[in-house]
Amino acid sequence: MTHHTNDDHHRSASTKEHREIADALGPLTCAVVVVSDSRTAKTDHSGDVAVDLIRKAGHCLVGRELIKNDPAAIEEMFHSYTGERTNFLVFCGGTGLGKKDITVETIEPLLDKVLDGYGEAFRRYSWDEIGPAAIMSRAVGGTKLGTIVACTPGSSNALRLALEALLLPELKHLVREAN
C-alpha cells in the first residue's frame, strides 16, 4: 500500500500551526457503529479493526455497536453519539450500491457539513488497491454538532484504508476545525 507522505515541506505553515495546536487536544472520544445484516459480534472483524486502530492511535473508545441496515437504527446511533458524547463517529458498512445499503442516504441529510475531500480521497486511494471498482464506494464524511462523522465501506481493508491513511492521521486537526 503506497500512500502520500506527511512531509511538512508540502504543507502550508498555517496547516502545520493548526496541527500543532490540535495535538494539544489529547486523546479523543470515538465510537464505532457497524451496519450489517449478516455480521454477529463473533464475525464482526471490521469492528475489531476499527477499535484496534483507534486505540493504537491513542484515542478513547466510548462505544461500539452492531446494527442492522435499518434507517431508524442508524439515525438513533447517529444522534446518540454526535455532539458532546464523541469527537469521532465511524459507521462501517451500508455504503455500497445494494438496495439494503442505506447508511449514506440516512446519514448525509443529518450532517451539518459534508467533508467532500474524505470521500474523494478514499476513492482515490482505493483506486490504487482495487482499480475501477473504487467508483462503487460511496464513502462520505462530515460534521454534526462538532463531531466528525465518517461512513466507510464495511470490509476490513476499506476500513483500514479509511482510518490509517485518511482519518486518524488528521483526526485532531479535523476535530479542532469542527469546534
End-to-end CA distance of the chain: 32
The residue that leads in pLDDT, 26 or 161, is 161
- Residue 36 is predicted with a pLDDT of 95
What the block records as the C-alpha cell of 40 is 454477529
In 3D space, the residue among 116, 72, 126, 75 whose CA is nearest the CA of residue 96 turns out to be 126
Entry pTM: 0.88
Could you tell me the pLDDT band of residue 103, with boundaries at 50, 70 and 90? Answer: very high
The dihedral built from the CA positions of residue 90, 93, 99 and 100, taken in this order, carries a sign that is: negative
Structure confidence by residue, pLDDT tens digits, 17-50: 666 665 667 899 999 999 999 999 999 999 999 9
Phi, psi dihedral angles at 41 (to 5 degrees)? -55, -35
| Alpha carbon 124 to chain centroid, angstroms | 16
Residue 78 pLDDT greater than 90, yes or no? yes
